[in-house]
Amino acid sequence: MSKQEWAPGLEVQGIDPPLSLGDFRLIAFDMDSTLVTSECVDEIADVVGKKAEVAAITEAAMQGVITDYKESLRQRVALLKGVRLEQLEAVYNDRVRLTEGAERLVAACKQAGLKTILVSGGFTFFTDRIKARLGLDFSRANLLEVQDGALTGRLLDQSWGDICDGEEKRKAVLDLASLMGISPTQVIAVGDGANDIPLMQAVGLSVAFHAKPRVRSVAKVAINQGGLDRLLEVTRPAS
């Protein structure tokens, strides 16, 4: 597929805009550096003076240099041992900001009748709050183990498995699509990192947001400038 610039900072490939939002039934969002402007794990690490160390692992994982996402996450979480819940609350309140255009895009998708799911390699502490704030329908993320009000440096297994990596993101969204009785072609996926690629390759419309080169290369829409609501420039409202 060859990319073409649809508008300044907005590339498309393999599609013929404008697409109708009404042709889709589900939109899946990544959280860190997509729905929110920061990488939450890096911000937690900053609280305990380990941001550089954790951020280096995060960047390598998002670029796809570290191919074992689960191991990279375990390494980062281990460095967070001892962080207290009140410190996590402060990170959310002081450092986690919704990305420009996030609320407008979510509202437009809801207006068009789409269901919404947040699938993140981050943590439920943050995804639960973002889900509630944006009124999203579903979410899947990783659960930090807490003892005596502090992180243990470990993750807890959940009913669906151990860690939400790229493959789990793909599986969670496709399982939900199946339960909804819709085709993967009726799903939109929005993300920025290498762990979003398996999902992007499985759905009808893939959107790379200020993304790494590998992610832009596989996405049908690449938003390289501006906010998330720029997706609405290549879609039209449901009729």
CATH number (domain holding residue 232)? 3.40.50.1000
Instruction: Check: CB of residue 208 under 8 Å from CB of residue 191.
Output: yes
Cα distances from 40 to residues 37, 43, 172, 192, in angstroms, run: 9, 5, 21, 14
Q: Output the pLDDT for position 175.
A: 98
pLDDT-based confidence at residue 237 (cuts at 50, 70, 90): confident
Q: Output the pLDDT for position 66.
A: 78
Q: Output the pLDDT for position 238.
A: 67
Q: Output the pLDDT for position 1.
A: 58
In a domain? residue 74: no
In a domain? residue 225: yes
Residue 235 predicted with pLDDT over 90 = yes
In a domain? residue 59: no
3-state secondary structure at position 216: helix
Share of residues in the chain with pLDDT > 70 (%): 99
Mean pLDDT of 132-156: 98
In a domain? residue 89: no
Instruction: Check: CB of residue 203 under 8 Å from CB of residue 187.
Output: yes
Domain range spanning residue 163?
4-38+98-236
Residue 144 is inside which H or E element, if any?
strand 138-147
Residue 147 predicted with pLDDT over 90 = yes
Instruction: Check: CB of residue 38 under 8 Å from CB of residue 97.
Output: yes
Q: Output the pLDDT for position 24.
A: 98
Q: Rounded to the nearest 5°, which phi and psi values hold at 77? A: -65, -35
Is 94 catalytic? The answer is no
In a domain? residue 67: no
Sequence-distant (≥ 6) Cβ neighbours of residue 220 within 8 angstroms = 1, 12, 13, 14, 15, 205, 206, 207
Q: What is the mean pLDDT of the chain?
A: 95
Active-site position among 16, 23, 32, 162: 32
Structure tokens given for 229: 């609501």
Rounded Cα distance between 78 and 145, Å, is 11
Provide the 10 A C-beta neighbour count for residue 152.
Answer: 17
Q: Indicate if the alpha-carbon torsion angle 137, 143, 146, 150 is positive or negative.
A: negative
Instruction: Check: CB of residue 117 under 8 Å from CB of residue 139.
Output: yes
Active-site position among 16, 30, 162, 192: 30
Query: Based on the structure, what is the number of domains in the chain?
Result: 1
Q: Output the pLDDT for position 209.
A: 98
Q: What is the pLDDT of residues 179-203, one digit of tens each?
A: 999 999 999 999 999 999 999 999 9
Q: What is the pLDDT of residues 72-84, one digit of tens each?
A: 999 999 999 999 9
In a domain? residue 62: no
Amino acid type, 221? V
Q: Output the pLDDT for position 60.
A: 85
In a domain? residue 75: no
Residue 154 predicted with pLDDT over 80 = yes
Residue 120 predicted with pLDDT over 80 = yes
In a domain? residue 79: no
